[in-house]
Amino acid sequence: MLIKNAAVTDAQGTKTADILIKKGLIAKVEPNITADGEEIIDATNLAALPAFIDLHTHFRTPGFEYKEDIESGSKAAARGGYTFVNCMANTKPVCSSAAIAQSVMDEAKRVNLCGVNQVVSITKDFDGKTVSHLTALPKNIRVISEDGKGVQSNYVMWQAMKIAAEKNLIVMSHAEDMDISPYDYRLAENIETARNIFLAEYTGARLHMCHVSTKEALQSVLDAKKRGVKVTSEVTPHHIWFADTPYRVNPPIRTAADVEYLINAMKNGEVEAIATDHAPHSPEDKANGAPGMVGLETAFSICYTKLCVQNKMPLETLSKMMSRGGAEVLGLNKGLIKEGFDGDITLVDLNESYTVNPDDFAGKSHNTPYAGETLTGKVKMTIKAGKLTYMEEKQC
């Protein structure tokens, strides 16, 4: 594939160039590349970004396919400009084994629209106490998480982190002290964040803090990094777009002061990744109080509008958090438009505005608070390993 006349932007800068992709990898990035039998895409007036990577996704397979499945989730990801996602373990059955994880990843390969890494639960079947299954995990299992609940026992989390340090696993933390969260969810996140940081510092484990939403929690992460703790963080689009609203998510939407603190830290390059926490639900489940929203198909537009248009963040900084940062956390050869990197590209129109209509979503679920919002910056095409996985209809 040859992409012509693009405004090429990644974490390292912006330039006008052509992009040649051969055998799934970027072969050249320079002006005026001559076509030699390649499929040609004219990207005049479009920005070419490294395709997005989501560290925090729920595709609901196995067990909750009525909300989302690998194919519908992959289509949603592709429409949102994503070519790789990291799927959480709160499925049915809980993903507590390499066999279940591999079955999810194999199905994603069959669908072949979006790469998937499947996370394994920290405790077996989310029982809150058993971590012996972690010792048998093969090397292709890279991440463990108790997302949706968090590990409540200090001792159990300490044991899990010791194993993670020995096996070089990434521990992704949903920070919530569930004894406290019914009374004060802010305190619940802040306490669990501090605890997990101290355990990571003690054990030497690699820790990634999911959906950080309070200024105190993020400050704990930043202070820990200064001490040399191996900790990274992600922020969701909805935790920077909304403030003081009751839409049910976990952790909750926070205050305007939290939003300001998160955005400033992101502008300063102190947050590694933007992650959607894409959480599909049926209308019935959502009406019954299920927390979460879908996010893959709106993430870029929300972040570009809020961060770049409204808060004057350079596009290069946004690209780093949506692409390269997640790739570095997971150890992927992605996230830069540079010779030798995976040929995963998202083409966007930075000037187009549109109104969010959930009926247009490619995913099965439409639980979004963004319906009716007017956003700037629209994904036009997504390319994975040199092959189109999504093209907006009017571009066809």
127, two tokens: 């029982």
pLDDT (0 to 100) of residue 38: 83
For the domain 2-48+344-395, what is the CATH code? 2.30.40.10
CA distance 391 to 382: 7
- Hey, which residues are catalytic here? 277
3 state DSSP class of 198: helix
What phi, psi does 319 have (nearest 5°)? -60, -40
How many residues comprise the chain? 396
**Helix axes of 256-267 and 215-226: crossing angle, nearest 10 degrees:** 30
3 state DSSP class of 90: coil
335 neighbors 10 (Cβ within 8 angstroms): yes
248, two tokens: 């049910």
What does the domain layout of the chain look like in residue ranges?
2-48+344-395, 51-330
315, two tokens: 């596009």
171 neighbors 208 (Cβ within 8 angstroms): yes
CATH superfamily label, 51-330: Metal-dependent hydrolases (3.20.20.140)
148 neighbors 174 (Cβ within 8 angstroms): yes
Peptide bond between residue 246 and the one before it cis (omega within 30 degrees of 0): no
The pairing of strands 374-384 and 387-391 is antiparallel
What is the value of pTM for the model shown? Answer: 0.97
198, two tokens: 């101290």
pLDDT (0 to 100) of residue 280: 98
Element (H, E) at 147: none
- Sorted by sequence, the CB contacts under 8 Å of residue 41 that are 6+ apart come out as 1, 2, 3, 4, 347, 381, 383
**Sheet with 82-87, side-by-side order of all strands:** 52-57, 82-87, 115-118
In DSSP terms, which residues pair with 19 in a beta bridge?
A: 3, 29
99, two tokens: 């066999």
pLDDT (0 to 100) of residue 35: 81
324, two tokens: 């390269």
131 neighbors 139 (Cβ within 8 angstroms): no
326 neighbors 83 (Cβ within 8 angstroms): no
pLDDT (0 to 100) of residue 249: 97
pLDDT (0 to 100) of residue 37: 83
- Sorted by sequence, the CB contacts under 8 Å of residue 331 that are 6+ apart come out as 142
CA distance 81 to 62: 24
Task: State the DSSP code for 132.
Answer: G
Low-confidence residues in the chain, pLDDT < 70: 395-396
